[in-house]
Amino acid sequence: MELPRVWVAFPITCPAAAGLIDLRATHRLADVLRELKAVSSGWVHNVRHFAWQEGYGAFTVSASQLEAVRHYIEQQAEHHHTRTFREEYLELLRRSGVEFDERYV
């Protein structure tokens, strides 16, 4: 499978990686993430202790908002001085209308 263009940030102070992935109609998200995890595992283990979680969250972003999202991800450490990643993620789920059970987030 040919991987799509990927931009990922691994903030040191955040328990999660955030990224932008340019998916085409021929890409399946689960396949892309499995391949991304496989090709990146060696690199992240050399950088610092790291483990992939089982689940993931995926949200669509319009092309006009890509730079704003990229900037937001780059500034993630600053955002988490005032609220945790979990708090921020739950708010994003709620604002996006995603049904979820907090026990599994």
The upper half-sphere exposure of residue 49, i.e. CA atoms within 13 Å in the direction of its Cβ, equals: 2
Closest CA to 78 of 11, 5, 28, 18: 11
Mean pLDDT confidence for 6-14: 51
Q: Where in the chain are the domains? A: 6-104
Query: In this predicted model, what pLDDT tens digit does every residue of 25-42 receive, in sequence order?
Result: 888 888 888 887 787 777
Give which of 56, 60, 77 is closest to 69, Cα–Cα: 60
Which amino acid is residue 59, in one-letter code?
A: F
With a CB cutoff of 8 Å and minimum separation 6, the contacts of 88 are: 79, 80
pLDDT in tens, 45-86: 676 666 677 777 788 888 888 888 888 878 877 777 788 878
pLDDT computed for residue 38 by the predictor: 80
Angle at alpha carbon of residue 74, lines to 31 and 52, rounded to 5°? 35
The whole-number average pLDDT for the span 14-20 is: 65
Q: What is the pLDDT of residue 40?
A: 73
HSE-CB at 96 with a 13 A cutoff on CA atoms is 14
| Pairing assessment for the beta strands 6-9 and 18-21 based on DSSP bridges | antiparallel
User: Which of the four pLDDT bands, split at 50, 70 and 90, describes residue 94?
Assistant: very high
